[in-house]
Structure 1
């Protein structure tokens, strides 16, 4: 078992001493983020994650979602390449028939899987396709139903030496753990990181498989709103794309997510702001640490 450190509180001072990479040159130097997700009834999750990745500094954004939503997404996110994927009768992405995904995955620097997916069997097929096609240096961010799919095959990530970050909420943590999480989320994040050999960001509690741990303490109840997790997953992907290591990206993303919410409180109160309103706050939070 790795030696577990005491969790460090994520503060501006800690982050200033752990500065994010600042790529120079064109958009290619800030990497390509591919978000795979969405369904006929949940296309907004892909939009939120994708725009968050751009706000965090990704150079190129690609969205792969259910084909019935592709036209609307391309209008809503004109900065992105949008590819429609085959879907099932009920509007879920049909992972087994998503051959168009292979080329996108092979060319991406970071692949985020999960936002808006809703069929567990098809999500498993998507996840297998991504893992089979991604290059050895491609980073993965697994969120939402992708975590449920992973819980059915816990050795999927441990078979490879691949950079991966898991972003569960408490329900998804329950599936990954096989039991209800306890009150000590530092310990639960640590167990997940060791079990899945991935960096884990669980409600601001970040753990690395080597035993290092961090905790973001400024998040408030307002972040518990629909779509907020999609923003966090995309934010993390954008930071990975511009060159942050997984632990660094997870810590910076937890902080930027929380502080973006704080910045909205004077306008909307502690509860009532929307996930999409977090997006415009991200660049300023990252710039003023």
Structure 2
């Protein structure tokens, strides 16, 4: 499949999960077995999708590389992506795999439980990367040179392939785990040292196989394990951006938390945009923390 329009400076590849988010939210505190009133919504979601939506609101054009079924839910999701300003020409549409889904329950005390059904994305594997190997977007001889947002819903073998692939050799690669349970899949990027890793404190500890007491300590730990750059968040506590040039820290604004699903994706997208606009490391970190705080407070303005 060929690209409909030529690449532009506002393009960014978003690789990973694009699915339907089914979120139940209640204003009540919840525990195991709670049965409370609330609201249930279904919206386009997935790590790559959440990042892409924020990038699009900031004026960038996300190019999606993912797997979406040819079922009615998939057709509806493709239409929603296009309406939100995303390029879907290179999405892998499977005839036999259903469109993925994510389900979560949130209470006043935060995320209670979640299940990510990204089996179709995992089963599609390297098929979603065909445009980066057949010349539609890039190839081994002509690697992609723009920014790439990559999420950890891909299989470990595919992430290893991406970390070593010539097609990504000149890309500005930004990587985030889909959840703490999938954080260890990002180990190839420690080995190759080619990406900026966006992780929270728990995910950093899983990657380094130790516990950290602060984002600054975790960022330093990731750098010592081979990371080129690491950006570690810790909820309402200070976050840290670590590189070989030093550590930069920032504290998120205090807000009333009304939602949590998608906050990390919003943070990552806002940080990417800030740096694309020429912001310093400190300014980019502060702007990303502010955007994430507004998101969790329920403010839709970014």
TM-score (norm 1): 0.65
Distance 1:155 1:202, change over 3 A: closer
Q: Which residue number corresponds to residue 187 of structure 1?
A: 217
The structure 2 residue matched to 1:47, chosen from 42, 46, 49, is: 49
Structure 1 stretches of 5 or more lacking a match? 1-26, 265-270, 282-289
The structure 1 residue matched to 2:120, chosen from 91, 96, 99, is: 91
Does residue 273 (structure 1) correspond to residue 294 (structure 2)? The answer is no
RMSD: 3.4
Give the superposition deviation at 1:62: 0.4
Distance 1:84 1:175, change over 3 A: same
**Whose relative contact order is higher, 1 or 2, with alpha carbons under 8 Å and at least 6 apart?**
1
Question: Secondary structure of the equivalent of 2:223?
Answer: helix
> CA contact under 8 A between 1:124 and 1:150: conserved in structure 2?
no
Question: Secondary structure of the equivalent of 1:77?
Answer: helix
Does residue 141 (structure 1) correspond to residue 180 (structure 2)? The answer is no
Instruction: Name the structure where helix makes up a greater proportion of residues.
Output: 1
Q: Which residue number corresponds to residue 209 of structure 1?
A: 243
Instruction: Name the structure where strand makes up a greater proportion of residues.
Output: 2
CA distance in 2, matches of 1:178, 1:257: 27
Q: Which residue number corresponds to residue 80 of structure 1?
A: 86
Give the superposition deviation at 1:133: 4.1
Give the superposition deviation at 1:243: 5.5
Distance 1:124 1:228, change over 3 A: farther
> CA contact under 8 A between 1:110 and 1:240: conserved in structure 2?
no
CA distance in 2, matches of 1:131, 1:180: 28
CA distance in 2, matches of 1:171, 1:101: 34
Deviations 1:10-38 (A, max 9, x none): xxxxxxxxxxxxxxxxx93x442111111
CA distance in 2, matches of 1:201, 1:165: 7
Q: Which residue number corresponds to residue 66 of structure 2?
A: 65
Structure 2 stretches of 5 or more lacking a match? 1-6, 22-43, 99-118
Larger of the two Rg values belongs to structure: 2
Give the superposition deviation at 1:143: 0.3
TM-score (norm 2): 0.63
Q: Which residue number corresponds to residue 267 of structure 2?
A: 232
Deviations 1:36-69 (A, max 9, x none): 11155555133220122234453x3201222227
Distance 1:127 1:114, change over 3 A: farther
